[in-house]
A and B are shown apart, each in its own frame.
Chain A
Amino acid sequence: MTVNAQGPTNTPLDTHFNVETPEGIQFNAAAAGPIPRMLAYTIDSLWRGLVYCIVFITTDFLGKAGEGFFLITLFLLEWFYPVVFEVFRNGQTPGKKAFKIKVVNEDLTPVTWGNSFIRNLLRAVDILPFFYVFGLTSMTLSKHFQRLGDMAAGTVVIYNTAAPMRAPKENALEPCAPPKALTPNERRAITEFTLRSSDISESRQEELATLLKPVTDKEGEEGAKLLKSIGAWLLGHK
């Protein structure tokens, strides 16, 4: 546990972490914490419960054989439901899919049979002593929110952030080429401003635009308008 009782942190707190490939490419991912994962687990439990109900009702008339069949279903689903989904469905059980999270290896490669098997087999430990208390504790304390099974298998649950293509509204302002050549950081900031401007109040937009006076040479309302026009231009409305 990284308890720094009093005092500032060295690096800004973040749930994101970087993985660098041997080629020197950096991948960034956000680890998923205990609360969305608990809820995802609940959804998966509900699905399994539904299947148990259906199997139980349909095999009821078979007597002892039906009972056996039901128990086999119970065994298979409890142990292999997550494994099968994680391996064949891009690391996502239905519950995880609902929360847009997925299981990957610690180096962000897709999870394999062996790893998935280990992490799900060790649910037997995480579930102790009462309803995943060990797992929750481990998740809360470990840096990338890993439960004990994740640590053993070398897996981590991350957000599946395939960033959706966002575009400003069509009837936005007339696109306008930037008055000066912009650095990548400036472009990023201006596009972000343009895309989110509908959530930001007018006065705040003007305040922000004034900050960028050295770049645009305009401030206030005029500046905000110009920034949004530049943003539209940068986003491909020409």
Chain B
Amino acid sequence: MNFDRLQVNPELRNKWQAIDMGIALARQWYWPLLLAWVIPVLIVSIPFAIIDSTFITLLPLIIWWLKPLFERLPLLYLSRYLFGEFARPKMTLKGWFRLYTFDAFAALTWRRLSVCRSFTLAITVLEKQKGHARAERRRLLGRSTNRAATWLTITLIHAEMFLLFGCVSLVVLFIPEQVDINYDTLWSIIENPTVIEYVYTFLYFISIAIITPFYVACGFYLYINRRIELEAWDIEIQFKQCAESRLQNARKQQNREKQKRHLPDLTKVRSIITAIIPTLGTMLIGGLLLLPAAAIAEEPTPKYALLQESSDSSTTSSTTSRKTLSTPDAQIPPPEESQTLWRSDADATLDTKERILSILESPPFVIEKEVHHWKPKTSNGIVKTIREKIISAILSLLSLLGAPSNRIDIALFVEILLWGLVIAIIGLILWHFRHHFEGLIAPKSKSLSPLESDIPDTIMGMKVTQESLPTDVIGTIQSLLSTNQLKEALSLLYRANLHDLAHRHHVSLKSWCTEMECAQLAQASCPAPIASYFTALTHCWLQLAYGHHLPDKSKILSLANDWSNLQHSPPQVLDHGASQ
């Protein structure tokens, strides 16, 4: 068998992969295979359809019955395509007749319902076996493939059915809901037997036609795969390649040896040339230009180099000769030396590979050791003992569970364990969402009485601690006013107020608050008089701080007095005072 033009990768596959290969084959040459089935079927069925319409009823049955014969031509084509023969087979009329009639009776009678049909078809069509020989062959080939071949047939019978119904339901799917089908006329069409027979025959024909190339190709590749297994086609190809590469290597070696034998002559010629030309050259040029010979000989003339290379194509020899070239006055190496150079080069390429391979076979590259038992990867054995402990613990627990007297205790234990687990989970959830609950439990207490640590030391960059303020704020203000330090006086008043708000009235001021935010906070959580006083103070302060607008001395004094009044009067009185 000639595998040179084999169109597949002939590796040994499992049965299902072989079937998949069949799909790939059928896909590759689908149209010729389809036509090889369709044309004979049409030749048989068209006369039936024309002669008598009653035959239409029988036509699907006839096509079905003759399937084993119709599948022969696609198989024949496929077997040729597989081996790379794409020319149309030239067959005589007798050949065609023989193709369809060979062992036809058995194929159409007792073997018609064989579920391995596509697989065994190749024995009949390609090997031309019948009777006892065929049975023998079939037994050998079918030993491990029958199951897959059977499932192939069963699956594709269903696929045919699905396609048939699929065609119908595809049409139904494309009818829009809005279309009002007149069911009376539809039924009258459907009740007309000939119409429905035509439609059914047509759809049946289409679905078989679509499936058959795949069925034939899958069965055929199952057969081919089995033959690959039995006859080792892939091994034959591999062996041929190996032998070929060995022979090529041997041929190369022979060529080298041949070259080697020719080499002395070449070297001799070359040495003569190398001897004559430089000396001639140096003599001529040296004589003409009266230059030292060695100086010129340092650079070889291009003409000379060309001559060198044409005399020998090998780079090794040309480099050797170049060496001799650069020192033409020195001794030209004898031919024996260049010959040894050659030999060592040739031997190196040939032998080194083998030497490397044999070195790689021996220690330390390959260290062989026989291992008889499994071992955990951590070699100290700790893993094993822990695992054993766990297993024994589980086993003892199981035996405890099994003992009837312990059952109630254990049930109780498990119950407690489970409840504990539930509580733990609830606790965990509560802990996880604790920040959400804090707001629910005491939403206002925090903002009303902030902890001492929450009160900032500086607000808007101004120190508002107790220590930063003088003990007698009013007195200090007055003394500042008396020396006309208005800015200092007002800022002191403002700071003292902020301190008051934070510590006495528990306004949750933050260090990042702006003046207006402080005023808003004060308004939100302070009694009205304090808030309105603070707002007035803030305005005054803002005008000074940002507008550089100095208020009157009397205004500051009155603000300071108002503040001391507010401080020293109880809330009720304050209210009263404010309303006044």
Binding site for B on A (CB under 8 A): 1-9, 12-16, 30-36, 38-39, 99-101, 128-133, 136, 140-141, 145, 159, 180-183, 185-186, 188-189, 192-193, 196, 199-201, 204, 208, 211-215, 238
In the complex, 12 of the A-B residue pairs with CB atoms within 8 angstroms, ordered by the A residue number, are A4-B28, A5-B29, A13-B7, A13-B8, A14-B9, A35-B16, A130-B166, A132-B162, A189-B238, A192-B235, A196-B235, A213-B243
Residues of chain B with a CB closer than 8 A to A16's CB: 9
- In the assembled complex, the Cα of A84 lies from the Cα of B525 at a distance in Å of 59
Residues of chain B with a CB closer than 8 A to A13's CB: 7-9, 21, 24-25, 28
Interface assignment of B230: CB less than 8 Å from any CB of chain A: yes
Q: Which of B163, B243, B355 has the most CB of A within 10 A?
A: B243
Residues of chain A with a CB closer than 8 A to B238's CB: 185, 188-189, 192
Q: B1-36: which have CB < 8 Å to A?
A: 5-9, 12-14, 16-17, 19-21, 23-25, 27-32
A35 to chain B, nearest CB (A): 5
A196 and B162 contacting across the interface, CB-CB below 8 Å: no
A140 and B20 contacting across the interface, CB-CB below 8 Å: no
Interface assignment of B358: CB less than 8 Å from any CB of chain A: yes
For the complex of A and B, the 7 pairs showing the least CB-CB separation, nearest first, are: A33-B20, A133-B166, A181-B357, A189-B238, A214-B246, A130-B166, A129-B170
Apart from A35-B20, A192-B235, A211-B236, 6 more pairs, CB < 8 Å? A13-B7, A14-B24, A35-B19, A99-B16, A196-B12, A199-B232
A167 to chain B, nearest CB (A): 14
Q: Which residue of B13, B214, B243 is within 8 Å of A215 (Cβ)? A: B243
Interface assignment of B38: CB less than 8 Å from any CB of chain A: no
Identify whether the interface residues of B are mostly helix, strand, loop, or mixed.
Answer: helix
Interface assignment of B53: CB less than 8 Å from any CB of chain A: no
B339 to chain A, nearest CB (A): 27
Quick one: closest B residue to A15, CB to CB?
Answer: B20
- In the assembled complex, the Cα of A1 lies from the Cα of B230 at a distance in Å of 33
A95 to chain B, nearest CB (A): 13
A204 and B9 contacting across the interface, CB-CB below 8 Å: no
Residues of chain B with a CB closer than 8 A to A238's CB: 368
A8 and B353 contacting across the interface, CB-CB below 8 Å: no
- In the assembled complex, the Cα of A197 lies from the Cα of B521 at a distance in Å of 96
Interface assignment of B159: CB less than 8 Å from any CB of chain A: yes
Residues of chain B with a CB closer than 8 A to A145's CB: 20, 23
Residues of chain B with a CB closer than 8 A to A183's CB: 242, 245, 357
- In the assembled complex, the Cα of A204 lies from the Cα of B1 at a distance in Å of 13
Residues of chain B with a CB closer than 8 A to A128's CB: 173
A204 to chain B, nearest CB (A): 6
- In the assembled complex, the Cα of A13 lies from the Cα of B240 at a distance in Å of 21
